[in-house]
Amino acid sequence: MFSIQIGNPRVLRGTSICEAENLCEAIEDTFPHETEDAYLNWNGVRVAINYKYDFSVMASDVVAMLDAILSKPQGEHVASWASSSFRGTWRVRWSEHELVIHPIWEAVTGNIESILASAGDVEIPTMDFVAEWLELLELVARHLETLGVRPDVAGWPELRRLLEAASVAGRGSLYREVP
């Protein structure tokens, strides 16, 4: 099982992100340290993703990973997460219908690397995986737009293009309409 709970993080109102040189800086400048985290559900193990210090470092890599997945009906991508509290490597393989992540966990908030390792690989329908990340990316993009991110900030055009192209993925599992 794989899902992402995006939460409702506060933003630093009155903050200008006009000086940000890239997407990572813009995200770090947008969110305070003391705000709600996002949570990744990895086969039943909940992993905190801090917006300011984890996701700001991960964002460009997430965009690159999803872009790779959406550009080919099958393939493989290696994502290296460099945050000090969400560090590791995911080998992601996908086909048109199924995606498998083989992780190597190095450092995770709460020192739960061994628990995550014992939880094993994640298998998920490919577009469901994309939809989970899109919830998080769309939330971040809305906040960046509200605070006035410059259209030429490195990584911003790629994020906007991805969000437009991936709209066919639908909603993340926690945010779908219940019949």
* pLDDT value at 35 more than 70: yes
Question: 97-107 in b/e burial notation, b at 16+ Cβ within 10 A?
Answer: eebbbebebee
CA distance 78 to 97: 19
Q: Give 3-state DSSP helix, strand, coil % of the chain, rounded to 5.
A: 40, 25, 30
Provide the 8-state DSSP code for 77. Answer: E
Beta-strand ranges (E) seen in the chain are 2-5, 38-42, 45-49, 75-83, 86-94, 98-108, 122-125
Note the pLDDT tens digit of each residue in 89-120. Answer: 999 999 999 999 999 999 999 999 999 999 99
- Spatial distance between the Cα atoms of 103 and 79, rounded to a whole number of angstroms: 9
Is residue 27 scored above 70 in pLDDT?
yes
Give the model's confidence band at 20: pLDDT under 50 very low, under 70 low, under 90 confident, else very high: confident
Tokens of 64: 């690159």
Question: In the block, which residue shows the tokens 């790779």?
Answer: 68
Domain that holds residue 27: 2-175
pTM of the model: 0.93
| Tally of structural domains, the chain | 1
- Note the pLDDT of residue 16: 66
More confident site: 32 or 170? 32
- The residue among 58, 73, 47, 65 whose CA lies nearest residue 23 is 58
Ranking 44-58, 65-79, 151-165 by mean pLDDT, the lowest is 151-165
Region of 111 on the Ramachandran plot (φ > 0 left; ψ -120 to 50 alpha; else beta): left
Instruction: Say yes or no to pLDDT of 15 above 70.
Output: no
**Average pLDDT for 31-38:** 94
